[in-house]
Amino acid sequence: VYVIGIDVGGTFTDFVIAQEGQPPRYFKTASTPHDPSEGLMTGLTHTATAYDL
């Protein structure tokens, strides 16, 4: 089970992924103020790929 935290800011969208017994993993991507969901989905996809989830 993973716990994912997301902070959508004006400049960057930050992600943290935690799994019991593992150190948290962090990822940052540029925000998309015109459509925050676009930056969120792009960052989530990159995070999952980077950490082989």
* Cα–Cα distance, 2 to 14 (Å, whole number): 16
Q: Where are the domains of the chain?
A: 1-29
Residue 1 has what pLDDT? 86
Pull the structure tokens for residue 16: 């943290």
Residue ranges, the chain, pLDDT below 50: none
Q: Report the SS3 class of residue 6.
A: strand
Residue 34 has what pLDDT? 92
Consecutive H or E run containing 4:
strand 2-8
Residue 21 has what pLDDT? 94
pTM of the full structure: 0.80
Give phi and psi for 27, each to the nearest 5. Answer: -150, 145
| Residue (of 32, 7, 2) closest to 17 by Cα position | 2
